[in-house]
Structure 1
Amino acid sequence: MDSDQAEEEPLFKCEICNIKFSHIDNFTKHKSIHNDKPYSCHLCDKAFSVKGNLTNHIKIHTGDRPFSCDYCGKAFPTSSKLTIHHRVHTGEKPFICDICNKSFTTNGYLTMHKILHTGDKQYSCDICNKTFSLPKNLNDHKKIHSGEKPHSCDVCEKTFLYNKDLTKHMMTHTGEKPHSCNICGKSYSNVTKLNQHIRIHTGEKPCHCTTCGKSFRTSSELHLHKRLHSGEKQYPCDFCDKAFFNSSELKRHTRIHTGEKPFKCDICNKVFSDNGHLIRHKRTHTGDKQFSCDVCKKLFSTNSNLTIHKRIHAGEKPFSCDACQNSFVSSSKLAQHKKTSKHFKNLKASLKNAKSLESTIFVDCTEADIKPEIKEESHDGEANFFVCDESDIKEEIKEECLTKADNSDETVKQEIEDS
């Protein structure tokens, strides 16, 4: 009987924001948030409904942080903030959603999450009419319209809309990376990046494209992928006609034109145009192979090499040669094949039979400067020309070579047809 009465104990529901409370004291304290805020900070005029909140707020101005973390040494102005921070290290998430079982480090995060299930968005922007589930989210959104970025870095003066973004940014100056992967030991400046990294080990890809069903580790990767469907390439190259889906791709591409290789290996001094290439290269020194095949347990230094390897088990060979119909597990294997004499003979035969030579580049070997590693394999000993891709021609004389190729194509094609 007592248990039934406990289950039927009435909740106190706020009529303004619909948050429920089981204790009258908490409910009364909460209601004061919507009412007057009699406790004002004499330093910034910010007001609070509870005196204790004002006391804690003043510590922001004074810098007083008497509560330190035993794990990483980070200090906090209140013991409650330290308790919440400890959960980052312990992984504790004691607040569980009774609808989807997702867990959270604080009750506040759980309360905000539950609103997602109700779909209730009663707070509307009076400028663009966008609606929000929480008043804080609406207030943050309004700063986008005003251009307000109230949180400023005291090192480089860069400004941010959210304090959490400033906190993350400050770690780029301090080099602090308090969040470590318990699988490989790699460290990160924030929990979000750590969680994204852990998905490399687990293989989890929770972000799904609604158009093609492809999955991704992060929402940012999904956002970039969606541009493939829309065809949106808003970042054009200043040197050539190519355009890219994002600024980082453009930046990497531009280094092809400039020859810039800003990433240097501190072990052998080899330089690279892309940081990802440097990271993969360093694994040749360390022998680090963190990607494991779930079929044969073979280890690989990169996820892409693991993906290629898995195609062997699956029997997949998605890259096909147009000349001989041979298939390969990777684009690099196909590229190697295209530079062999066997491929050249097959290409020559298929072109001769099809009488269709329009798509092939022919360069006179006495006038062109072909990359040395493909000269012997792409040269036909019976005719005085090379058959190659544009990428096989040295960048600095490519335009001149292609012009000469255009002028000599018909003669060369006739040689193939007659041979």
Structure 2
Amino acid sequence: MLDSDVSNPIKEEAALCNDQSDCSINPLKDEIQGKDTPTPNTEMYNCSECQKHFRTKAGLLKHEKTHTGIKPFVCSVCEKRFAWYSDLIVHQRSHTGEKPFSCSECGRCFSYPSDLNRHYRIHTGEKPCTCSQCGKHFTSHSDLVVHRRSHRVERLFSCFECGKQFKHHSQLTVHKRIHTGEALYSCSECGKDFKERSTLSVHLRTHTGEKPFPCSHCEKSFARRSDLDRHLSVHRTERPFPCSQCGKHFACISDLNVHHRSHIDERPFRCSECGKCFKKNSHLTVHERIHTGEKPFSCSECGKSFTERSSLNVHQTIHTGEKPFSCSECGKCFSNRAGLRIHKKFHTGEKPFSCTECEKSFTYRSHLTVHLRVHTGEKPYTCTECGKGFTRRSHLNVHLRFHTGEKPFTCPECGKCFAHRFQLTAHSHSHT
């Protein structure tokens, strides 16, 4: 009796999709031919909440769920919720890596037909979407929609603090938290606060180690979809985005944009504490932990914490003794690939990174970065106990032992502990 009174959302959606008059079988054609305003003879479906117009009943019903907030379909991997079952099916491809749509020109595969349609225009050069204001052409309707905003002057929602204007009230709500310092979502593990639930969800993966986005090519997994997308470029043979400066090709436009900064030395991400600028937001995030002292990556063996997961991975090889990377020249083994890469340059004698002040050369860029502090006097690593500054993090770590009394180097013969490795080495001679 009760079952008959409860609507089945899957059947409801299927019924909508069976209405052939409302469903398109050619999304690319619809995208190209779609207009913001209907033709006079087109029947429109209006939302009773916000009066927005839709050409199809299915479009209206899907939109109405944005007002009700009903999202009955849940992803079993990341627990993200969706209003429609079809949206859930599409979303699940981000976890499975399924790419059923392939380009007939180059063989590249895509998870969504809309992505394939947009990609195909790289080969054809087609730009079917034209701005009625300035005549500029675009490859996709979404790019045109974004461009049209540059012609609009109306901004409905204004911030009383700084006067910045927004088209959507939700954008204003999030923006206001910059002024109030309001953080609605706190991490139960480390207490760090976040203004958005989605940001907290991603952060929690640093504690749980969860990596819900697997690579379908090499079984490597990632905590964020954006990290997976960047990684996939390693497997792609197609690199359709060339740099106009040096001719180097890239698999995705985001990699090309980052590369462009190497020519103009653009560093758009600035630290609010010390003013240092970075080319990537991820580099800024890691740098900010110098000031906050945050170390979200902990070793399960000894409890030692690190600011970066890569540092934790290197540290853990101390416990396992694993050194899987060997030099083909001399056979020396290393616990990480970066160590092997640096070592190989000692065989070639290559030192491609030169100091502009004294012309000293280095095999690795990071060594040059540290060296430059000799000329600039920069000491970015500060002791929170006494305020003393250091040019290297390792020097700060050694210094901190004076405050903590930590003695991490133990003699295997007598058990005596030392604060520095050289002290242990000198002591070891007393046993021989």
2:293 matched residue in structure 1: 203
CA deviation map 1:219-247 (0-9, x unaligned):
23233334444444232123323111223
Q: Does 1:279 align with 2:279?
A: no
Q: Deviations over 1:35-58 (max 9, x none)?
A: x999x87957999xxxxx963334
Using the TM superposition, give the Cα deviation of residue 92 of structure 1 relative to its aligned residue in structure 2, in angstroms.
Answer: 9.6
Question: Which residue of the partner structure matches residue 182 of structure 1?
Answer: 272
Letter in 2 for 1:203: G
Shift of 1:253: 2.0
- Matches of 1:225 and 1:287 in 2, distance apart? 30
User: What one-letter code is carried by the residue in structure 2 that aligns with 1:252?
Assistant: I
SS for the counterpart of 2:395 is helix
Which residues of 2 match residues 75-94 of structure 1 at below 5 A?
none
**Alpha carbons 1:115, 1:133 under 8 Å: kept:** no
User: What's the CA shift for 1:200?
Assistant: 1.8
1:12 and 2:67 are equivalent in the alignment? no
Change (3 A) 1:223 1:172: farther
| Cα distance in 2 between the residues matched to 1:56 and 1:260 | 47
CA RMSD, 1 decimal: 6.0
Mind listing any 5+ residue stretches in structure 1 that lack a counterpart?
Answer: 1-8, 22-26, 48-52, 68-77, 352-419
Residue correspondence of structure 1 range 204-219 to structure 2 within 5 A: 204-219=294-309
Q: 2:143 aligns with which of 57, 60, 81?
A: 57
Deviations 1:55-112 (A, max 9, x none): 333479x999779xxxxxxxxxx988xx79x97xx6999895589685356x8x4698
Contact 1:252 1:274 in 2 (8 A): yes
Change (3 A) 1:104 1:266: same
Given that 2:73 and 2:81 are in contact with CA atoms closer than 8 Å, whether structure 1 keeps it comes out as: no
CA contact 1:262–1:271 (8 Å) conserved in 2? yes
Residue 276 (structure 2) pairs with residue 152 (structure 1) = no
Aligned with 1:12: secondary structure? coil
In structure 2, the partner of 1:305 is 395
Please give the alpha-carbon distance, in whole angstroms, between the structure 1 residues aligned to 2:184 and 2:308. 23
Choose which of 224, 230, 234 in structure 1 pairs with 2:314. 224
- CA separation in 2, counterparts of 1:315 and 1:98? 33
Q: CA deviation at 1:182?
A: 1.8
CA distance in 2, matches of 1:332, 1:279: 26
Which residue matches 2:341?
Answer: 251
* CA distance in structure 2 between the partners assigned to 1:235 and 1:207 by the alignment: 23
* Greater relative CO, 1 or 2 (CA 8 Å, sep 6+): 2
Which AA in structure 2 matches 1:13? K
Which amino acid in the other structure matches residue 361 of structure 2?
V
Tell me if 1:296 matches 2:382.
Answer: no
Higher helix share: 1
Shift of the 241–187 alpha-carbon distance from structure 1 to 2, 3 Å rule, reads: same
Q: State the Cα distance separating 1:191 from its structure 2 match.
A: 1.4
How many angstroms does 1:217 deviate by? Answer: 1.1
Listed one character per residue, the Cα deviations across residues 330-357 of structure 1 (whole Å, up to 9, x for unaligned) are: 335667xx5xxxx9xx95x865xxxxxx
Cα drift, residue 185 of structure 1: 1.8
The whole-number CA distance in structure 2 between the counterparts of 1:308 and 1:227 is 21
Q: Which SS does the other structure have where 1:283 is aligned?
A: helix
Identity of aligned residues (%): 30
Look up the match of 1:384. none
Shift of 1:306: 1.8
Distance 1:146 1:298 in 2: 46
Aligned residues: 301
What is the TM-score when the length of structure 1 is the normalising length?
A: 0.50
The 1:290–1:248 alpha-carbon spacing in structure 2 relative to 1, beyond 3 Å, is same
Which letter does structure 2 place at the counterpart of 1:270? Answer: K
What do the CA deviations read for 1:93-144 (whole angstroms, capped 9, x no partner)? 9895589685356x8x46986998xxx999999999999999x89x969978
CA distance in 2, matches of 1:318, 1:232: 20
- How far apart, in 1, do the equivalents of 2:214 and 2:383 lie? 50
The equivalent residue for 1:270 is 360
Question: Structure 2 unaligned runs (5+)?
Answer: 1-66, 91-111, 129-138, 153-165
